[in-house]
Structures are given as structure tokens and as C-alpha cells.
Amino acid sequence: MLGFPKETKNESKCYVTHGQLGHVDPKQPPLKRKPFAAILNHDFLHRAELILPEELYNIIKADFFNALTEAAYSKVTLPLRAFLEGDFFTEYIKKAEVWCSAAFSSTSTDIHVGNILMLSEGRRGVDKLYSLRNGILTLHLDRESYERAGLVGKPDGAKGKRGTRPRWVVEINLRQPSMLHGKKGFDKIVYAFKNVLTEPVTWLFCDLVATSLSPDPLDAHFPLRQSISPAITPHIKVNVPPLKPPVDANSGYGKDFEDFIVETHEWLSLISLDSPRINADDKIDSFLSRYVSPAETTTSSNLVRIKWSGFLSPSWAHNMFMQVLLAVPPEAWFVCSMGGFGEAWPGGSKDCTILRVPDSPKEYILWEVSQ
């Protein structure tokens, strides 16, 4: 674990994992071991990115894009009470999730139904903010709304800090057997949504099922559907440093390894930001920028960056990582990076970056940055 300087106000942490991918079965993709679990640990994603050598991209692009499902989401305005009514409640909430390999194998006949992701507009710690994942509706409320709603929750965020107002978080598992009309606890939730938390809210909506319902319960609310097309940036001319971690004679992780992972992550971040500092022809005066390549020996190369931006599901990003992993030759390197919405207090973010080490088919380095 790398800690940023304690004297700064930035409390970010970077957790680094160096390991082996192990056996990867495309029909039963890994879910619980790193680096695959690091992708699925996100609640929601707003960015997914792939960086790889241009010659490698030209080889795999046809098969890769043909195997990858199109990412899409919707923008819709509806009140909380709509979650508990009609086909929306029956089809999207009460039908339990069944995880399967249909997204990874065209021969699979299994399906997963009734699973959606939803995230409302608003800033955590400032506005009322709602989310729905795996059938669990999470409400971040100010004190007045929480007390008027009469729901059971717990304090949210820092308590007792000067200048902050107390806030509360309520989690409701709508897939519990007791969540039915006529049940006392459920009717209490219905009352709160019809009499206190009544205002319509703009949501981002993502259906995890490849084939949508017909008729779709969401159509009654006039959603604005949006497909996510990748933004492809070719011909990124850079000097590529050695991407293999240093080998310690004592099989430990010393200062050399720490320097390697910090400098490599910085270099990859500059590519993601489209910074001119990593350009092989960059001639900026050292007085204006002190950035230098992470290593004295570099290889000139052209890279391609593929970026998806929007409301993405972690399962789609997991599938994307699997597809590129299966498409590239064993000796090739590539980088997958995912960025999450603010999930920490207050309004932080969670990102992960995965590097498949060159000339080592099973070796990877994973950076997990959180606030």
C-alpha cells in the first residue's frame, strides 16, 4: 500500500497488486480473484479505457469489436414511488438476478433477468442522492427528510465536524420476500415515497440484460436512450519505458519496485489525459515542466487509446477486459483502466488500472486508487 504524504490534505491511497492471472476460462470467467474482482467491486463506472500498441490494435480490432457487446444506458426522470409500482417493480426489482456466462459465450442458454443499475442526479453530502444496485435501493438524505420519512437508517459520513450538517443513509433491499404490498414494512416505504420523498428525479439507467423486455416498463417514463461509442485516438507517438517490474534478488518489493510502479502509473495517467509531455517529440523547456521519462532506456512506439465514457456497468467492463485478454497474443502488453463515480465520503472516486506485463503471459500489475 502506498500512502500519499501525511502533511497534505489528500488522503488518497494506492493499493498495488503484482501477481499471476492464472487459468482463464472464457466460458467461466474469473469473478472473485484479482484483477477481475477489482473491476466488479465498483458500484458504477463512468469511464473505461484501453491502451495498447498500434500494431497490436490493427491485428485484434476486428475480432475484438465483433465480440464486444455495445454499451448503452438511458436517462429518465421518475419519482421514487415508480420503483414500487406496476411492471417496473415486478420485472426490474422482484425478479432475482441469475448470473451466467451468456455475455461471454454465444452458446450459453442461461440468462439473467431483472437486474438493473440506477444512479440519481445530485452531489453526495449536499443533495439527496439515490442509487439502485442488485435490488438494493440506497437513499442519502438530509436530516429533515430522514426524520419526516420515518425510515430506519444510519448516520452517513463524518459526524461532529464543525460546519457539516448531519446526514443519513437508508438501505432497502427490495428483493426481500417481505417487500410486498400489504406488508407493514413495505407499506411504510410506500407512504414515505408518496408523501415525503415525492419529487421527480433524473436518473441514469443501465439494463444488464442484453435483450430488453418487450414491452419495456421504462417506456412509460419516456427515457432518452444513449449508446456509448468508443473514442479511438490513434498514432500516439511515445517513448515506451520498460514495463517489466524490477527483479529483487531477495524476492521482495523494495524501493526499486516502488519507484517503478509510481513512475509507470504516472506515465499511463499522462497518456490517459492526452498530455503532450509523453510525446516522443516533446521539446518543452525544463523550466516549465520537469517531467522526464520513467527510464533512461526507452523504445519509440505508436499507441492507440480506446475510451468509453458514459454510464457503464462493471459487468460490461469485466467483459471488455476478458475479450481483450483473449484476443491479444501472449507476449503482448496492454493496459485497461476503469473510473468510478464518487463512492467515498465526501465525493471521492475509485479507479483501477491493470497492466498485462510484456513477454510474460500471466503476469499483471494492478493499481487501485481510492479516496
Backbone angles phi, psi at 355, to 5 degrees: -110, 120
pLDDT, tens digit, 9 for 90 and up, residues 348-368: 457 899 999 999 888 999 999
| pLDDT band at residue 340 under the 50/70/90 scheme | confident
- Return the pLDDT at 109: 35
Please name the helix (run of DSSP H) or strand (run of DSSP E) that holds residue 13, with its range, or none: strand 13-20
Task: Beginning with the edge strand found earlier in the chain, give each strand of the sheet holding 136-142 in spatial order.
Answer: 154-155, 167-173, 136-142, 129-133, 116-120, 201-207, 71-78, 224-228
- Return the pLDDT at 276: 87
User: In angstroms, rounded to a whole number, what is the distance separating the alpha carbons of residues 329 and 265?
Assistant: 23
User: In angstroms, rounded to a whole number, what is the distance separating the alpha carbons of residues 45 and 225?
Assistant: 17
**Mean pLDDT on 50-74:** 93
**Mean pLDDT on 192-198:** 94
Give the range with max mean pLDDT: 53-62, 239-248, 255-264.
Answer: 53-62
pTM attached to this predicted model: 0.85
- Return the pLDDT at 316: 94
Residue holding cell 465536524? Answer: 161
What mean pLDDT, rounded, does the chain reach?
A: 84
Name which residue leads in pLDDT, 60 or 216: 60
User: In angstroms, rounded to a whole number, what is the distance separating the alpha carbons of residues 198 and 93?
Assistant: 20
Is the pLDDT at 58 greater than 80? The verdict is yes
